[in-house]
């Protein structure tokens, strides 16, 4: 009888009309003193550890609920996180949390918050869902899989410890489809090309926990109880405590990270509370495995490349396990091989200067190493110009050492010499008093005054000022220099991707001129650095439907995608067109290709809608839903397409793509939407998507920024005309000659109608 009482004393049964709620209290919970004893046991291993807890969802993202709505995932995640944080804090850990109340935190922000906090480890807390309400088990995920470039075994180690104690403490099954003996899961099981965002973007050791399934009726009732959520937190705590108690080696680079040798000797020290297993040593250089050795007496790892390395940066990754099987935490260092220059190429731009002290020329020395590669940044090059009393040493940037030299009123050439290590080169700077025009200046952003490199300085030519020729491009400091015979008057245009072009008219002058240009970012620069993959669906042998309209839809998709691509690239975004011709690329391949790019948004265009409406299909998430809503708003504004709504999809494609994915379904040809001015209809949809993207970045469009295109001879309106705004972006006029730029312009706009010499757009003549 005593044995039976001991067996059942830890079991809790709660009953009412609902199914019986059953769970088992941990045996360590026999008394508060017993709980304190366990926490004290792990204190030596957990104290001073900085652990970041991330309760998933929350705020606006509260859609995940159990069948009886007694368990809302966002709330369950938070309560488990708070309980786990309390256990860790009692053991001496410093605990950070992405949220401590019901608030919204973007997925990309969560790993950033952990890094900013200086945390050592990241634990994301979730609970799962299934259409099959009989499904229930506990699971713990690590990122990628063994052999993948993003895999690190330390994440797998943590998952192993957490999974074992969490599932046991909750008395839940392990995942039935795990291929690992330790029943952990790779996040690639869910998203094959990317994994979970909070793990993919993390620089810390990180795992994601799915405690159980709130869609299981019995489990939902357990998750509704505060004590059971504390039990789940206790299981995770025990797993973390045992992980840290097993120890993990710490690696530190001892040798210099910069070397002049192409075969540098790399030394890494290893400190560990447990014995090291030398057979587990792994190292790779630039993504390829490299031989390494471990010396137990000196506790060091030695790596010497078998082949000579090229000059520049090389990524070194290494790890080693202790006898308990725990791997050292991520160790990634950049080694710099600084090979000396073996060739110098000295030049002056321009090679001759006018006789004046008001001008400058740019001296550049291109330095290469023995492999013909540019030398590493910071390599010293000595430049001397005796007549100008210049003798200075300059560090290279992108393989070039450069300086400016002033002109002279004396007509005599100057000798310029460059030297580095054992090599040298010379050139001459001449002076001229001909009829050439000398212009210099800098190109800057008018938002932050920063100089802009690689901006083109062009001469506008042609009867209608519709052609250009490049005179120079700005250097890394934003400066340009022109010295050549040019027409009078001279019309200059300054242009850089992401900025509106600017024009300056210059009359010939006998004296040198200085012309600075201030460029305005398109749409306030909101798209700088943003990545968008634009996917025109179907193409080639893929039609999506058997009908003729579906076959033609592939061409419409491509036309819209191409226009959107042009608008995004012109605005400074990192836009990628997934297909640029009528070729067959299966969906699996498109999804695989998405993993090559910096994470952003993946926009699929599908012109097979049955109605004259726009629909978005997404994998349901707060970020995707918000983005899709903006796209539909943009389409309504620019193309007057009504919204048919946003629908979630379980299509495997949405899981396989390595970033947020949205399919925009637009009218097909058979709906008659394109029967009018087809060029305008296609352009309007592209502009609608563009405006929607801008709105997600905080740009407010102006629907009243419209103009009328007319024929200057007949006075008739011109439909289907392509109108260029500020020599940068374009739009197409509709059937009544209206063209709209939605406030994307600068306020001092100028227009040019392409391919129609008689068509004009006058500033101030807005459409009614």
Tell me, what CATH number does 389's domain have?
2.60.40.10
Residues 82 and 146 reside in one and the same domain: yes
Residues 153 and 42 reside in one and the same domain: yes
Residues 166 and 233 reside in one and the same domain: yes
What are the b/e assignments for 1-24, b being 16+ CB within 10 Å? Answer: eeeeeeeeeeebeeeeeeeebebb
Cα-Cα-Cα-Cα dihedral of 332, 338, 339, 344, to 10°? 130
766 DSSP assignment: B
Domain end marker among 417, 432, 447:
432
Cα→Cα distances 496→500, 726, 756, Å: 7, 12, 26
Tell me, what CATH number does 101's domain have?
3.40.630.40
Asked if residue 205 lies in contact with residue 329, where contact means CB atoms within 8 angstroms, the answer is yes
Rounded to the nearest 10 degrees, the angle between the axes of helix 678-696 and helix 548-570 is 50
Asked if residue 102 lies in contact with residue 61, where contact means CB atoms within 8 angstroms, the answer is no
Tell the burial category of 353 from Cβ atoms under 10 Å away from its Cβ (0-12, 13-18, 19+). Answer: buried
Residues 608 and 664 reside in one and the same domain: yes
Query: What mean pLDDT, rounded, does the chain reach?
Result: 91
Q: Is 1 contained in some domain?
A: no
Residues 553 and 623 reside in one and the same domain: yes
**pLDDT in the model for residue 322:** 97
Q: Which residues pair with residue 660 across a beta bridge? A: 601
Tell me, what CATH number does 269's domain have?
2.60.40.1220
Task: Write down the residue that tokens 């379980």 correspond to.
Answer: 650
Q: Is 5 contained in some domain?
A: no
Task: Give phi and psi for 2, each to the nearest 5.
Answer: -65, -40
Question: By residue range, what is the domain housing residue 626?
Answer: 531-696
For residue range 574-598, what is the model confidence (pLDDT) as tens digits?
999 999 998 989 999 999 999 899 8
Q: Is 768 contained in some domain?
A: no
Contacts of 147 (CB under 8 A, 6+ apart): none
Q: Is 767 contained in some domain?
A: no
Cα→Cα distances 47→82, 87, 88, 117, Å: 18, 12, 9, 17
Give pLDDT < 70 ranges for the chain.
1-19, 463-466, 509-510, 543-551, 763-768
DSSP 591-635: HHHHTTS-S-EEEEEEEEESSSEEEEEE---HHHHHHHHHHHHHH
Q: DSSP alpha helices (H): ranges in 91-225?
A: 109-117, 153-170, 197-200, 217-223
Domain end marker among 379, 411, 432:
432
Contacts of 371 (CB under 8 A, 6+ apart): 310, 311, 339
Domain end marker among 296, 316, 337:
337
- pTM (2 decimals)? 0.82
Neighbours of 59 (CB within 10 A): 13
**Count of structural domains, the chain:** 6
Q: Is 6 contained in some domain?
A: no
Residues listed for the chain: 768
Task: Write down the residue that tokens 């502009």 correspond to.
Answer: 687
Residues 98 and 234 reside in one and the same domain: yes
Q: Is 583 contained in some domain?
A: yes
Cα→Cα distances 704→454, 572, 635, 692, 724, Å: 34, 24, 15, 16, 18
Residues 84 and 111 reside in one and the same domain: yes
Residues 650 and 733 reside in one and the same domain: no
**pLDDT in the model for residue 21:** 80
Residues 138 and 241 reside in one and the same domain: yes
Residues 176 and 43 reside in one and the same domain: yes
Cα-Cα-Cα-Cα dihedral of 35, 37, 43, 44, to 10°? -160
Question: What SS3 string covers 484-495?
Answer: ECCCCCEEEEEE
Tell me the C-alpha distance between 203 and 746, whole Å. 40
Q: CA nearest 260: which of 197, 162, 341, 330?
A: 341
Q: How far is CA 9 from the centre of its chain?
A: 53
Tell me the C-alpha distance between 494 and 471, whole Å. 10
Tell me the C-alpha distance between 464 and 724, whole Å. 14
Q: Is 765 contained in some domain?
A: no
Residues 29 and 46 reside in one and the same domain: yes
**pLDDT in the model for residue 210:** 97
Three-state secondary-structure class, residue 307: coil
Residues 173 and 67 reside in one and the same domain: yes
Task: Give phi and psi for 508, each to the nearest 5.
Answer: -60, 140
Q: Is 241 contained in some domain?
A: yes
Written as six digits, the tokens of 436 are 């050439």
């Amino acid at each position: 009888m005593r044995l039976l009482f001991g067996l059942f004393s830890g079991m809790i049964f709660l009953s009412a009309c609902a199914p019986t709620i059953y769970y088992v209290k941990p045996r360590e919970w026999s008394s508060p003193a017993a709980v304190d004893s366990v926490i004290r046991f792990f204190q030596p291993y957990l104290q001073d550890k900085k652990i970041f807890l991330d309760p998933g969802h929350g705020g606006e993202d509260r859609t995940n609920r159990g069948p009886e709505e007694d368990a809302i995932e966002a709330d369950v995640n938070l309560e488990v996180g708070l309980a786990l944080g309390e256990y860790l804090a009692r053991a001496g850990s410093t605990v950070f949390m992405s949220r401590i109340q019901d608030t919204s935190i973007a997925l990309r922000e969560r790993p950033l918050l952990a890094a900013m906090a200086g945390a050592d480890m990241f634990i994301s807390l979730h609970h799962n869902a299934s259409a099959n309400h009989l499904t229930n088990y506990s699971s713990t995920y690590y990122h990628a899989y063994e052999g993948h470039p993003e895999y690190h075994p330390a994440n797998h180690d943590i998952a192993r410890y957490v999974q074992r104690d969490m599932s046991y403490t909750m008395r839940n099954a392990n995942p039935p489809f795990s291929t690992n003996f330790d029943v952990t899961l790779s996040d690639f099981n869910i998203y094959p090309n990317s994994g979970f965002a909070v793990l993919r973007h993390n620089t810390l050791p990180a795992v994601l926990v799915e405690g159980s399934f709130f869609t299981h009726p019995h489990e939902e009732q357990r998750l509704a109880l505060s004590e059971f959520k504390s039990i789940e937190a206790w299981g995770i705590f025990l797993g973390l405590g045992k992980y840290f108690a097993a120890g993990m080696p710490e690696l530190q680079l001892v040798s210099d990270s910069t070397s002049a040798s192409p075969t540098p000797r790399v030394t890494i020290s290893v400190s560990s509370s447990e014995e090291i297993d030398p057979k587990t040593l792994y190292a790779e250089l630039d993504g390829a495995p490299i031989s390494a050795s471990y010396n137990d007496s000196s506790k060091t790892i030695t790596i010497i490349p078998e082949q000579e390395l090229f000059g520049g940066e090389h990524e070194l990754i290494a790890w080693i396990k202790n006898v308990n099987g725990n791997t050292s935490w991520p160790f990634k260092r950049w080694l710099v091989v600084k090979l000396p220059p073996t060739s110098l190429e000295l030049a002056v731009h321009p090679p001759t200067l006018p006789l004046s002290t008001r001008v400058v020329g740019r001296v550049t020395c291109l330095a290469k190493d023995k492999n013909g590669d540019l030398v590493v940044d910071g390599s010293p090059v000595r430049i001397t110009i005796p007549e100008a009393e210049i003798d200075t040493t300059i560090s290279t940037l992108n393989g070039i050492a450069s300086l400016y030299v002033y002109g002279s009123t004396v007509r005599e050439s100057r000798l310029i010499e460059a030297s580095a290590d054992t090599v040298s080169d010379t050139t001459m700077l001449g002076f001229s008093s001909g009829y050439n025009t000398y212009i210099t200046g800098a190109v800057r952003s008018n938002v932050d005054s920063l100089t802009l490199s690689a901006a083109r300085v062009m001469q506008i030519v042609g009867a209608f000022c519709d052609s250009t020729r490049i005179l120079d491009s700005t250097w890394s400091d934003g400066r340009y220099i022109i010295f050549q015979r040019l027409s009078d008057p001279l019309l200059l245009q300054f242009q850089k991707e992401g900025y509106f072009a600017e024009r300056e008219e210059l009359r010939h002058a006998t004296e040198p001129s200085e012309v600075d240009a201030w460029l305005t970012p398109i749409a306030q620069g909101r798209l700088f650095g943003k990545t968008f993959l634009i996917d025109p669906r179907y193409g080639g042998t893929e039609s999506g439907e058997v009908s003729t309209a579906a076959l033609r839809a592939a061409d419409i998709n491509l036309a819209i995608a191409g226009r959107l691509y042009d608008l995004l690239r012109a605005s400074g975004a990192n836009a990628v067109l997934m297909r640029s011709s009528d070729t067959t690329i299966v969906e699996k391949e498109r999804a695989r290709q998405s993993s090559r790019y910096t994470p952003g948004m993946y926009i699929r265009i599908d012109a097979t809608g049955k109605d004259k409406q726009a629909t978005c299909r997404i994998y349901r998430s707060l970020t995707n839903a918000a983005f899709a809503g903006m796209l539909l708003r943009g389409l309504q504004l620019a193309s007057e397409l009504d919204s048919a709504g946003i629908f979630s999809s379980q299509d495997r494609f949405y899981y396989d793509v390595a970033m947020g994915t949205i399919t925009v379904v637009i009218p097909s040809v058979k709906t008659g939407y394109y029967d009018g001015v087809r060029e305008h209809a296609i352009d309007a949809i592209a502009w609608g998507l563009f405006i929607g993207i801008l709105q997600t970045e905080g740009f407010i469009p102006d629907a009243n920024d419209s103009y009328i295109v007319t024929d200057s001879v007949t006075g008739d309106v011109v439909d289907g005309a392509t109108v260029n705004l500020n020599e940068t972006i374009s739009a197409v006029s509709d059937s009544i000659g209206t063209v709209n730029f939605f406030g994307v312009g600068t306020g001092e706009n100028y227009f040019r109608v392409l391919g129609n010499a008689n068509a004009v757009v006058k500033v101030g003549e807005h459409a009614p």
